[in-house]
Amino acid sequence: MQNILNKKGFICDMDGVIYHGSRILDGVADFVNWMIDNDKKFVFLTNSPERTPHELSMKLERMGLSVSPDHFYTSAMATAEFLHSQAPGCTAYVIGEAALSKALYDQGIYMNDVDPDYVVIGETRTYGFEKIEKAIALVNKGAKLIGANPDTIGVTEKGIMPATGSLIAPIEIATGKKAYFVGKPNPLMVRHGLRKLGCHSDDVAFIGDRMDTDIIAGIESNVDTILVLTGVTKKEDINLFPYRPKYILNSVSDIVRNK
């Protein structure tokens, strides 16, 4: 535990680590306040491309936790940075919420539904046949297919909902083209988080609740991993995977309770 306390920075997943839906988890406020009081650098990393950092900050504010927007990094932002690094000034046809389009605009990537360089997919509630049809036609014309994250489902206040991986599957099947997914477990997300913190990988711990996205992304980014059991992974599930987190905690509150 002392090794965790000595870390200079923390990268934290959100859903299942910080909150469930619209309910903040017990002990999270103590953990966040401990990081602030001890000058720890931290960033909240989320595979969801649906909200901007400002919107995520407001969400936590409504739960009683004050965290400024600069502490958030989303798969929408990672996707935009990736496309900018690959093809500066490129264009995209986007199926997703406004936060994804804004992240692309912020990187100088503009919307194009005629001959875009990329078709970019993220979670959205405005998914429909016409958009799928358009995306298929554009990919068949040569546009590259990009997913903000590979998640097939997400847990919301209403229950299980389809996520990007499910939304992009019909386009992959119809075109025979496989998408490139930017979000976790792609280590790009964690490396972006490290750059945002300005810390070396040895000085950072990554906290997540999923073995198949969070922990593998941390391992492949060479950072110490902390699995918390407040999300989708139960202790008995860990042995189902051929890799292990460095630490297993009941929740983030264990970090400050045992200091």
Task: Flag whether pLDDT at 258 surpasses 80.
Answer: no
Q: Would you place residue 155 in the very low, low, confident or very high pLDDT band (cuts 50, 70, 90)?
A: low
State the pairing for strand pair 23-24/19-20: antiparallel
For the segment 221-246, what is each residue's pLDDT rounded down to a tens digit?
A: 999 999 999 988 999 999 999 999 99
pLDDT at 57 > cutoff 70: yes
DSSP 115: S
Angle at 134 between CA 128 and CA 139, to 5 degrees: 125
Q: Which band of pLDDT confidence, cut at 50, 70 and 90, is reported for residue 134?
A: very high
Amino acid in the structure at residue 148? A
207 strand-pairing partners = 12, 226
DSSP-assigned letter for residue 42? E
Mean predicted confidence (pLDDT) in 15-24: 88
Q: Per mean pLDDT, which range of 13-22, 93-102, 135-144 is the poorest?
A: 13-22
What residues act catalytically?
13, 15
Q: Are 116 and 89 in contact (CB under 8 A)?
A: no
Answer yes or no: is pLDDT of 259 > 70. Answer: no
